[in-house]
Amino acid sequence: MSAAQPAGDPLQPVPLQELRPLADGRHWQVNQLLSELDSLTPVRGELTAVHRGNILEVSGQASTIITLRCDRCLQHFNHPLSFQHHEVVWLGDQARLQGIDADAVLEGGSEVLELDPDALTESIDPSGSFDPEHWVFEQLSLQLPLVNRCGSDCPGPELLGAPAPTEPIDPRWAALKKLQP
């Protein structure tokens, strides 16, 4: 049994206890602007969250276009953002305190999902909620460039004090101009 999100319904946090009985998890079609991300186009993609006992398995892909300011010339430019990601989120540190070992997490009852215990760095309170909109925002934010460059043909910063190339040179200073390297 799978629960799909109704078309046009915004992404809303879902209690983890509602995900638990869904064998195929919950699937969302994303086609909206995110409240935390100022984008030119709606974020489009899909997202699936499956509750597997002590973990929440989340996977998805999405893309959008944002406007950035070039760090070199300070002009605005459009930049595509996209991600395709799969993540396993540990459901609470309470399970660790109860002695449940992170490298043997049950999947669907009897199958063991092979995990590196060190890979489980993210955790959610098992009695809490999963916020799909915030998860998509986080994944897109991780794709932002460290240095914003408008392109390889960036003109660079405008030099202050330098004469404009079209500015005529005063003939009285022409002799001095010839001495410049």
Find residue 55's DSSP bridge partners: 52, 90
> Regarding predicted confidence, which is higher, 78 or 173?
78
Question: What does the alpha-carbon distance between residue 43 and residue 63 come to, in Å, rounded to a whole number?
Answer: 6
The residue-averaged pLDDT of 36-64 equals: 94
Rg (CA), the chain: 26
Residue 52 tokens read as 């597997």
What 3-state class would DSSP assign to 7? Answer: coil
In this structure, is the dihedral angle defined by the CA atoms of residues 92, 94, 96 and 100, taken in order, positive or negative?
Answer: negative
Residue 43 tokens read as 């974020």
Greatest mean pLDDT among 32-36, 97-101, 116-120, 152-156 lies in 32-36
Contact criterion met (CB below 8 Å) for 53 and 23? no
pLDDT value at residue 142:
96
β-pairing verdict for 105-107 and 111-113: antiparallel
Q: State the virtual CA torsion across 134, 11, 82, 26 in degrees, nearest 10.
A: 100
pLDDT value at residue 45:
97
Across 83-92, 105-114, 147-156, least confident range? 105-114
Residue 82 tokens read as 């996209």
pLDDT value at residue 4:
46
Greatest mean pLDDT among 3-7, 23-27, 114-118 lies in 23-27
The residue-averaged pLDDT of 76-85 equals: 96
pLDDT value at residue 170:
76
Domain boundaries defined on the chain: 3-179
Q: What is the pTM of this model?
A: 0.70
pLDDT in tens, 115-174: 555 556 677 888 889 999 999 999 999 999 999 999 888 887 766 665 555 667 777 777
pLDDT value at residue 47:
96
